[in-house]
Amino acid sequence: MELFLDTADAQAVKELSETLTIAGVTTNPTIITRSGKTLERVIDEMCKTLAPNQKSFFQVIATDFDGILEETRRICALRENAYAKIPVTPVGLKAIKAAKAEGLNVLATAIYSADQAFLAAMNGADYLAPYVNRMCNYGDGVGQVADLVNMLATNGLPSKICAASFKNTEQVHDMICVGAQSVTVAPDIVWTMVKHPGTGIAVEEFSAAWENSFGRNTMFK
């Protein structure tokens, strides 16, 4: 399982990478524009923050074949372990096929059905990003991803699912349960997964008992 952070906030990436095993960062045009930073600044901060083995995913903006392919080449040249996110429009699927023929790293994005994801996998996409929360607005998003896990395994396709678009921790939990190989999650949702109020209360109880008995807050004198 790979856990990616869906964010343009390099500081959040740094803090969570110190706390958890983070495989890399995904962004999309909305995340970057909402950050209030330029694309150049986001790229620069991420390149400085990520370790060489952590992956980065930037999404193409062009919507024509040549433009998508050129942006894919430039995104993949940014650093080691750089991937281009290409939406699975008809022209996007054509660009995914061409990009993989060139050996470029590709994540197929804006996926709303298992069938779309499967077709992108047949074109060689390295990662497939079903938009789980958005899919749930149209039907059984979790079931679609469960189907996709089986479809890839049955057909021996090596593409990894990178489940995306989460609004709560339960959706992330469901993706891990159905066997998605990776998830990309906003930092605030990851922190919600980390911090359970019960754990804090339990630690406070242990500390209080220890201090009452031994008069100190460390194990050894």
Site residues, ligand E4P (CB under 6 A)? 6, 26, 28, 30, 109, 129, 131, 133-134, 164-165, 184
Q: One of 14, 37, 55, 85 is an active-site residue; which one? A: 85
Cβ-based nearer residue to ligand E4P, 184 or 220: 184
Segment 6-10 long-range contacts (CB within 8 Å, at least 24 positions apart)? 6/31, 6/164, 6/166, 6/184, 6/185, 6/186, 7/31, 7/186, 7/187, 8/32, 8/34, 8/35, 8/37, 8/42, 8/46, 9/35, 9/187, 10/42, 10/45, 10/46, 10/48, 10/49
Cβ-based nearer residue to ligand E4P, 118 or 131: 131
Cβ-proximal residues to 219 (8 Å cutoff; 6+ apart), any chain: none
Smallest gap, in angstroms, from Cβ of residue 38 to ligand E4P?
Answer: 19
Smallest gap, in angstroms, from Cβ of residue 79 to ligand E4P?
Answer: 18
Cβ-based nearer residue to ligand E4P, 95 or 186: 186
User: Can 85 be counted among the known catalytic residues?
Assistant: yes
One-letter amino acid identity for 105?
A: N
3-state secondary structure of 60: coil
Smallest gap, in angstroms, from Cβ of residue 142 to ligand E4P?
Answer: 15
Smallest gap, in angstroms, from Cβ of residue 205 to ligand E4P?
Answer: 37
Cβ-based nearer residue to ligand E4P, 94 or 134: 134
Known catalytic residues are 85
